[in-house]
Amino acid sequence: MVGGKEQQVKIAVVGTGYVGLVVGTCLAETGHDVICVDSDKAKIDLLKRGKTPIYEPGLEELVRRNAQEERLAFTTNLKEAVEKSLVIFIAVGTPPDDTDAADLCNVFEVARDIGRAMNGYKIVVNKSTVPVGTADKVGETIAAETREEFDVVSNPEFLKEGAAIEDFMKPDRIIIGTSDVRVAEIMKELYAPFVRTGHPIIVMDIRSAELTKYACNAMLATRISFINEIANLCERVGADVDKIRQGMGSDARIGPAFLFPGVGYGGSCFPKDVRAVVRSAAEAGYEFRILRATDEVNEQQKSLLIGKVMRHFRGDLRGKVLALWGLSFKPRTDDMREAPSLTIVRGVLERGASVRAYDPVAAKVASAIFGGDVVLVKRNYDALEGADGLIIATEWNEFRYPDFKRMASLMKERVIFDGRNIYSPKTMQEHGFTYYSIGRP
Ligand code: NAD
């Protein structure tokens, strides 16, 4: 209910990927009438049948219920969706282009189509992660197509894949970039059901809102690269990064989150967003040195396990069979965009090994990427049959307490390369495994 008139707002969400589908579904869950648009007909057909094109815990059930209750609809027809709606979210992808800048083609295409479909006042909300100044350009693009009035708002999204619904329903904060008080009120009312526990809705100017999103991702990525460098130093000086992480994390000024060393960050956001900030800073005449280093460290970190594997097998992987657990860039998602597993798998394949991989949900995505180059198995233990070693690339919970005896009986050689530090070195020793992890003795 928006505008103080107890009136339901019609909402369109353009782009039904990891973000758009969650946004649309959660807004429908609070009673709004939402129409989700995507140019991918196969996705829309699937959604109309109550199936989700991506894996996100809890999402499919929510989609199905809201669709059944006729608050959530799906279409490829953007014009119709725009005509019916007051608020239109743009949630299309902004992947990196060949200069590492955010590719805004999809955003501007949607803006143009919105402009062409305008049949009255609209609020156009940029949900996609976009560089500073994009809202202005979206406004210009729409204005070139229509004489109808509209406002453009920046409303970056902070959800995490794997916990997207919880994050959207109970956000730490909502950022709204607009200079129009009335528009801010409408947006605040739209989000009111999600901030009943008192988390803030922060209204700011559009440019600051656009940059806030990048600043957050850049900070989190930097913490990961920082702890990875500490881990790399630990390996050289005989210290234990786990102890250091605890020691650092209990400092109230630092906090424990995002201080887990590993094989680097991946996904559809951190890598591209860090590079996009470096790039747009350069365009503004500023060299963002910390973020350049964050990216460099991360790229290096993704190859760290390959080095450990090579050293263990004395530089020769030919004929070796390597099991790999976890393909997605993090647990609870099937997203493999820029996943460290990609670097690791390709690295060991290039050096002559073969790979038997298991992931609880990403097998379908992985098979489209690797084709027949990797054997994808249905159960984690199947990957271990005849394996010369096991690589752990993603810390899915189900890997934490495996049957080590069974593992040992299946593997040709008892060696584990743990890229996520999920086992204790002591336990590994007790079970007779040679165990490599990150930054621990
Ligand atoms: P995605 O690739 O999963 O989904 C994008 C969708 O947009 C696709 O379904 C695609 O078919 C559709 N699309 C593209 N062009 C279109 C057009 N012209 N008309 C209609 N539909 C079109 O992307 P995503 O992961 O949901 O990310 C979307 C945006 O949100 C990006 O800017 C991303 O950086 C940002 N973001 C992502 C996350 C995340 O965890 N994935 C979190 C916060 C912010």
127 and 77 inside one domain:
yes
181 and 220 inside one domain:
no
Closest Cα partner for 417 from 368, 336, 347, 361? 347
Please give the angle made by the CA atoms of 153, 154 and 155, to the nearest 5 degrees: 110
Testing ligand 1's pocket by substitution, the residue of 74, 78, 165, 268 carrying the most ligand atoms inside 8 A of its CB is 268
267 and 137 inside one domain:
no
The model's pTM: 0.95
> How much of the chain is in helix, strand and coil states, percent to nearest 5?
45, 15, 40
103 and 228 inside one domain:
no
What 8-state DSSP symbol labels residue 356? E
pLDDT at 441: 87
Q: Are 84 and 12 in contact (CB under 8 A)?
A: yes
Residue 98 inside a domain? The answer is yes
Q: Which helix (H) or strand (E) holds 301?
A: helix 289-302
Residue 151 inside a domain? The answer is yes
* Ligand 1 atom showing the smallest separation from residue 129 Cα: 32
Residue 405 inside a domain? The answer is yes
Does the beta carbon of 129 sit less than 6 angstroms from any atom of ligand 1?
yes
294 and 319 inside one domain:
no
Residue 106 inside a domain? The answer is yes
406 and 320 inside one domain:
yes
Does the beta carbon of 37 sit less than 6 angstroms from any atom of ligand 1?
yes
288 and 318 inside one domain:
no
CATH of the domain at 324: 3.40.50.720
Closest Cα partner for 305 from 342, 332, 276, 359? 342
Residue nearest atom 9 of ligand 1, based on CA coordinates: 17
**In the chain, how many domains are there?**
3
Is 358 in a helix, a strand, or coil?
strand
198 and 314 inside one domain:
no
pLDDT at 1: 42
Testing ligand 1's pocket by substitution, the residue of 38, 274, 277 carrying the most ligand atoms inside 8 A of its CB is 38
Boundary residue ending a domain (175, 204, 233): 204
* Ligand 1 atom showing the smallest separation from residue 76 Cα: 20
Total residue length of the chain: 441
Q: How far is the CA of 364 from the centre of ligand 1 (A)?
A: 20
Does the beta carbon of 19 sit less than 6 angstroms from any atom of ligand 1?
yes
Q: How far is the CA of 90 from the centre of ligand 1 (A)?
A: 9
pLDDT at 4: 44
* Ligand 1 atom showing the smallest separation from residue 127 Cα: 30
Q: Has 269 been annotated as catalytic?
A: yes
Closest Cα partner for 231 from 222, 221, 243, 240? 240
- Which member of 26, 36, 234, 269 is catalytic? 269
* Ligand 1 atom showing the smallest separation from residue 16 Cα: 9
CATH of the domain at 262: 1.10.1040.10
pLDDT at 7: 55
Q: How far is the CA of 17 from the centre of ligand 1 (A)?
A: 5
Q: Are 420 and 224 in contact (CB under 8 A)?
A: no
Low-confidence ranges of the chain (pLDDT < 70): 1-8
Residue 48 inside a domain? The answer is yes
Please give the angle made by the CA atoms of 250, 253 and 257, to the nearest 5 degrees: 60
235, two tokens: 């390996």
Q: How far is the CA of 269 from the centre of ligand 1 (A)?
A: 11
Task: Please report the sign of the dihedral spanned by the C-alpha atoms of residue 124, residue 125, residue 128, residue 133.
Answer: positive
pLDDT at 2: 45
112 and 143 inside one domain:
yes
Residue span of the structural domain in which 374 resides: 302-436
Boundary residue ending a domain (300, 330, 359): 300
Residue 10 inside a domain? The answer is yes
87 and 167 inside one domain:
yes
179 and 49 inside one domain:
yes
Residue 209 inside a domain? The answer is no
Residue 195 inside a domain? The answer is yes
268 and 390 inside one domain:
no
pLDDT at 172: 97
Testing ligand 1's pocket by substitution, the residue of 23, 92, 159 carrying the most ligand atoms inside 8 A of its CB is 92
Boundary residue ending a domain (279, 300, 321): 300
